[in-house]
């Protein structure tokens, strides 16, 4: 579950008779699980679902946290949908549900229904097409901030519904650039939909296409992308602070998806299981031979 319930005995051991009475009354009126102890809510025991990437699982402390909202964002052709689909590996494809809501409010209503029904994973691809109902048929004079308002209301609703549930919701989003005003400060990048999704998301992963191809026998068989884990609210305690915002390289094959052999090699090097030679050329030669052998066997 997203958050463990504090047992009645634990609460009794930690509280005075007056507080116990209040807890009993609140539990009777609002139900079990409305009150928890901080010790029972520690993030170190947060269950996760693998991202499909070994190195991203390492960087995030295990993968996508259960019962949480996740945002994967980046520019076009940066592997956002591919990464989200890797969380579906092992799922019965024939039984996988694909929904096409007519507007944003309907999308959030459907998501709410599936959360209540116990769905394990929901992927929204993507934020930009979630058109608010009030915009339909009103394109000439659209209300200011309608999209951000709709997202804020929808996210607040599903965030409430996810309490004590294990549903993972992955939102795919795009990078936009702030309109220049004459004075440019900070990062010009922003994301679609305002500040609501970055606030509600427990995990945010940014992807970027490195514009580098993976080659085999003179043919391009994949691309290289870079990933940043920019927010990991539920699992920060499991990840070293020095690794925060560290970029991670991932190879995406056109056939087969994430190149896990490459990730094993890179992670083993990072953890000093494989030690780099003092001679960079020798290390690069060995690395090249390893992956030529791997690719030849595929």
Return d(Cα 188, Cα 194) in angstroms, integer.
14
Co-location of 29 and 77 in the same domain:
no
CB-based contacts of 119, cutoff 8 Å, min separation 6 = 167
Q: What is the pLDDT of residues 46-101, one digit of tens each?
A: 789 999 999 999 989 899 999 999 999 999 999 999 999 898 777 777 888 999 99
Co-location of 129 and 13 in the same domain:
no
Q: What is the pTM of this model?
A: 0.81
Number of H helices, E strands in the chain: 9, 10
Co-location of 4 and 145 in the same domain:
no
| pLDDT at residue 2, as a whole number | 43
Co-location of 64 and 36 in the same domain:
no
Range of the domain at 287: 259-298
Which H or E run includes 93? none
Q: What is the pLDDT of residues 11-60, one digit of tens each?
A: 555 557 878 888 888 888 887 767 776 665 544 567 899 999 999 999 89
Q: Encode burial over 80-99: b for 16+ CB neighbours within 10 A, e otherwise.
A: bebbbbbbeeeeeeeeeeee
> Is the model more confident about 213 or about 114?
114
Choose from 177-191, 195-209, 276-290 the range with maximum mean pLDDT. Answer: 195-209
256 secondary structure, DSSP code: T
Residue 233 gets the label, from left (phi > 0), alpha (psi -120 to 50) or beta, of: alpha
Co-location of 231 and 129 in the same domain:
yes
Q: How many domains are there within the chain?
A: 3
Co-location of 228 and 185 in the same domain:
yes
| pLDDT at residue 32, as a whole number | 73
103 within 8 A of 136, measured Cβ to Cβ = yes
């Amino acid at each position: 579950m997203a958050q463990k319930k504090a047992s009645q005995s634990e609460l009794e051991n930690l509280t005075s008779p007056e507080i116990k009475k209040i807890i009993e009354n609140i539990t009777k009126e609002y139900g079990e699980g409305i009150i928890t102890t901080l010790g029972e809510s520690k993030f170190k025991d947060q269950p996760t679902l693998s991202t499909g990437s070994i190195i991203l699982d390492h960087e995030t402390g295990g993968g996508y946290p259960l019962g949480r909202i996740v945002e994967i964002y980046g520019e076009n052709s940066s592997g956002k949908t591919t990464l989200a689909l890797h969380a579906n590996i092992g799922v019965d494809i024939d039984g996988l549900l694909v929904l096409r809501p007519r507007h944003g409010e309907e999308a959030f209503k459907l998501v709410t229904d599936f959360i209540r029904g116990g769905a394990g994973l929901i992927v929204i691809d993507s934020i930009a097409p979630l058109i608010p109902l009030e915009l339909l048929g009103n394109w000439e004079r659209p209300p200011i901030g309608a999209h951000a308002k709709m997202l804020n209301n929808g996210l607040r609703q599903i965030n409430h519904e996810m309490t004590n549930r294990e549903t993972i919701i992955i939102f795919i989003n795009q990078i936009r650039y702030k309109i220049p005003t004459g004075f440019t400060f900070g990062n010009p990048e922003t994301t679609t939909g305002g500040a609501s999704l970055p606030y509600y998301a427990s995990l945010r992963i940014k992807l970027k296409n490195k514009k580098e191809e993976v080659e085999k026998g003179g043919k391009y068989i994949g691309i290289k992308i870079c990933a940043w884990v920019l927010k990991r609210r539920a699992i920060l305690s499991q990840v070293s602070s020095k690794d925060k915002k560290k970029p991670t390289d991932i190879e995406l094959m056109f056939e087969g998806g994430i190149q896990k052999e490459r990730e094993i090699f890179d992670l083993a090097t990072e953890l000093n299981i494989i030690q780099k030679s003092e001679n960079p050329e020798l290390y690069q030669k060995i690395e090249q031979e390893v992956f030529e052998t791997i690719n030849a066997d595929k």
